[in-house]
């Protein structure tokens, strides 16, 4: 409130009290009029301030003396007891004004504290849900704008330099600003407006740090009363700085952890590849070398049958080697996005026929039940690649199910999908692995398990998805596993 106006108000209050007392004069004794002046003092301290209240008490004493204490309209006092009344009125006036000022001050502080708590709560809530660096940066700037009636710029550390991560619209961040921010960053002390360093700067800069590690600097441009605000807001600013720094540190650590995990996963993948490549290349090679050396060294001692068995074994192993290298190459092509489909309209009968023909020599006495509808089942596909999918699935079924059990192949279509199923009566797989088996190099180790690379199913998935279809596995009732391949029929059913 304007100072002159407040003193005029003091005069008016005293005048009103005096007029009121004048109206009461016929009915009350002068001593009781003191109460009216006390009310004026209370109102003055509530509305105008402490100093003004003391002045009201003083003027009250004078007016009371002049107008109501006999002899009236003089300052002389006939009855000296009135002196006690004067001191009482003035003393109580001073005490009341001090008490009211104290209560008001406390209420104001409480209100400010409440506002601080609310704005810190808002900030921590926003920061807690911010999932990445960008979101954290945006919520810091937004909260400064809202809570402090200010515009803000957030600098983040880049080695020992700073770069602007975000700033309020319309805030000009010039080289002078950057200089002060850099000073604050390097010395880990607030700088700029309202501090002793660079006090002429338009903005206040506070370093964001966790322990001794500087993470950035927050620059604040107060929209009003800029120079006095630093001290008032010191506690809030420090809390803002700490919360923001902690959020930035959390993001930095989680990025680091993610990076470390990625490296670890890559390392694991590399190791798995190396293990499987060395194992799967060496096993057939050792067998083939063994067979060849036996045939070379003991050619004349070997009976015709033994020689044939040896050659069959070597042939089988060479086939395995070939499939393995083929799988590796396919995987590389799939990953490089070089797999080009040669789509043609094919009958599923041909597809199953081709697949069975290529696993024939591994079938031995195993029984494969094939259930296909009598009509043509046509779909657009790359026959060679889809045959490979089926071969991999049949291979797995043979590999993981008991020798005497049947492997079942079925296919059917509705107007949307062509479905092909390969099912066995093996051990099935734990439910939580049903999707993971399609990951590269993912294998479930079984004690008596057959060798493998963990590549087959991921290649199947790659090929089926390249066709726009999907592949999944499910455990069968009564035991065993079923793989389902679904190809979309859209535009594919051209006979």
Where along the sequence are the contacts to ligand ADP (CB under 6 A)? Answer: 396-397, 400, 424, 426-427, 429, 437, 442-444, 452-458, 481
Closest CA to 427 of 461, 394, 472, 476: 476
Contacts of range 315-319, beta carbons closer than 8 Å, 24 or more positions apart: 316/361, 316/362, 317/283, 317/284, 317/285, 317/287, 317/288, 317/291, 318/284, 318/288, 319/361
* Euclidean distance between CA atoms 19 and 62, whole angstroms: 14
Q: How far is the CB of 452 from ligand ADP (least distance, A)?
A: 2
Shortest distance, position 313 Cβ to ligand ADP, whole Å:
20
Rounded to the nearest whole angstrom, what is the least distance from the CB of residue 343 to ligand ADP in the complex? 25
Residue whose Cβ sits closest to ligand ADP = 452
Three-state DSSP string of 271-331: HHHHHHHHHHHHHHHHHHHHHHHHHHHCCCCCCHHHHHHHHHHHHHHHHHHHHHHHHHHHH
Is the Cβ of residue 221 or residue 443 nearer to ligand ADP in the bound state?
443
Half-sphere exposure of 182 (CA within 13 A, CB side): 13
- Is 379 or 393 the residue whose CB approaches ligand ADP more closely? 393
What's the min distance (Å) between Cβ of 265 and ligand ADP?
Answer: 18
Token pair belonging to 73:
């309209």
Tokens of 172: 């000009």
Query: Which of 151/443 has CB closer to ligand ADP?
Result: 443
| Nearer residue to ligand ADP within complex by CB, 207 or 426 | 426
- In the numeric block, the tokens 């620059």 are attached to 219
Return the structure tokens found at 162.
């700073």
Place of tokens 């710029």: 153
- For the CB of residue 439, give the shortest distance to ligand ADP in the complex, in Å: 8
Rounded least distance, CB 427 to ligand ADP, Å: 6
- When the beta carbons of 385 and 481 are compared against ligand ADP, the nearer one is 481
User: Which lies closer to ligand ADP via its Cβ, residue 40 or residue 455?
Assistant: 455
Q: Which residue lies nearer to ligand ADP by CB, 167 or 458? A: 458
Rounded Cα–Cα distance for residues 321 and 80 (Å): 125
CB 458 to ligand ADP: min, Å: 6
């Amino acid at each position: 409130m304007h100072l002159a106006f407040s003193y005029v108000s003091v005069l008016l209050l005293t005048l009103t009290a005096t007029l009121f007392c004048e109206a009461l004069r016929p009915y009350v004794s002068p001593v009781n009029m003191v109460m009216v002046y006390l009310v004026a003092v209370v109102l003055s301290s509530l509305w105008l301030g402490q100093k003004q209240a003391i002045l009201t008490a003083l003027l009250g004493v004078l007016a009371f003396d002049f107008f109501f204490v006999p002899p009236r309209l003089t300052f002389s006092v006939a009855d000296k007891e009135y002196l006690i009344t004067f001191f009482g009125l003035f003393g109580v006036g001073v005490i009341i004004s001090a008490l009211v000022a104290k209560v008001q001050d406390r209420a104001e502080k409480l209100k400010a504290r409440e506002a601080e708590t609310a704005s810190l709560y808002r900030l921590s809530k926003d920061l807690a849900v911010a999932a990445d660096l960008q979101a954290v940066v945006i919520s810091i700037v937004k909260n400064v704008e809202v809570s402090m009636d200010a515009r803000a710029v957030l600098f983040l550390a880049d080695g020992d330099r700073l770069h602007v991560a975000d700033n309020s619209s319309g805030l000009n961040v010039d080289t002078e600003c950057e200089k002060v921010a850099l000073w604050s960053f390097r010395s880990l002390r607030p700088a700029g407006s309202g501090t002793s360093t660079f006090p002429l700067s338009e903005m206040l800069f506070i370093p964001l740090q966790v322990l001794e590690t500087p993470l950035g600097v927050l620059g604040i441009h107060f929209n009003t009363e800029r120079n006095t605000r630093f001290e008032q807001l010191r506690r809030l600013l420090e809390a803002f700085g700490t919360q923001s720094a902690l959020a930035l540190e959390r993001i930095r650590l989680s990025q680091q952890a993610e990076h470390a995990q990625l490296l670890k996963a890559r390392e694991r993948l590399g190791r798995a590849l190396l293990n499987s490549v060395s194992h799967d290349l060496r096993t057939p090679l050792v067998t083939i070398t063994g067979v060849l050396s036996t045939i070379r060294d003991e050619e004349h001692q070997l009976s015709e049958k033994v020689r044939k068995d040896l050659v069959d074994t070597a042939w089988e192993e060479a086939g395995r080697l070939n499939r393995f290298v083929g799988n590796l190459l396919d995987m590389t092509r799939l990953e490089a996005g070089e797999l080009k489909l040669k789509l043609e309209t094919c009958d599923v009968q041909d597809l199953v026929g081709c697949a069975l023909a290529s696993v024939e020599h591994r079938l031995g006495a195993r029984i494969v039940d094939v259930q296909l509808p009598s009509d043509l089942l046509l779909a657009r596909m790359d026959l060679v690649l889809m045959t490979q999918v089926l071969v991999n699935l049949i291979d797995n079924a043979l590999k993981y199910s008991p020798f005497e059990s049947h492997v079942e192949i079925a296919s059917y279509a509705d107007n949307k999908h062509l479905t092909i199923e390969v099912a066995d009566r093996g051990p099935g797989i734990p439910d939580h692995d049903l999707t993971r088996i399609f990951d590269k190099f993912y294998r479930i180790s079984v004690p008596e398990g057959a060798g493998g690379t963990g590549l087959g199913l991921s290649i199947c998935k790659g090929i089926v998805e390249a066709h726009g279809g999907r592949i999944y596995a499910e455990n069968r009732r009564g035991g065993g596993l079923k793989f389902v391949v679904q190809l979309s029929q859209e535009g594919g059913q051209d006979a």
